[in-house]
Structure 1
Amino acid sequence: MLDLDFYRNLPEKSCRECGDTIEEQHESYLYECERCIGKHEE
């Protein structure tokens, strides 16, 4: 049986650039939030 408590207790992922919480998506390997990614693209 899968232990769901492990997944529920994982810390939120935060942006390594600004520290804001990143809303994680399925199979997302981003380490920066959308705003910081946009700064690099300008």
Structure 2
Amino acid sequence: MLGNPVEFFRNLSRKICPECGEHIHEEQAESYIMECERCLAKKEE
């Protein structure tokens, strides 16, 4: 049986941006975006 889904996601390792190697903020890590906000902003320029 599965436990609390919130606990499952909380226990996952933090995502790391493939562009710069920085840890991705928790709110953004829940999405499918792979890059951190700083690298995404650079791409938009």
TM-score over 0.5 for the pair: yes
As a proportion of its length, which structure holds more helix? 2
| Structure 2 unmatched ranges of 5 or more | none
Q: Percent identity?
A: 49
Deviation at 1:17, TM superposition (A): 0.4
How many residues end up aligned between the 2 structures? 41
| Structure 1 unmatched ranges of 5 or more | none
The question of 1:41 aligning with 2:26 is answered no
Deviation at 1:16, TM superposition (A): 0.9
Cα distance, 1:40–1:7 mapped onto 2, change above 3 Å: same
For the residues of structure 2 that align with 1:13 and 1:29, how far apart are their CA atoms? 10
For the residues of structure 2 that align with 1:7 and 1:35, how far apart are their CA atoms? 23
TM-score between the two structures when normalised by the length of structure 1: 0.70
Deviation at 1:24, TM superposition (A): 2.9
The question of 1:29 aligning with 2:38 is answered no
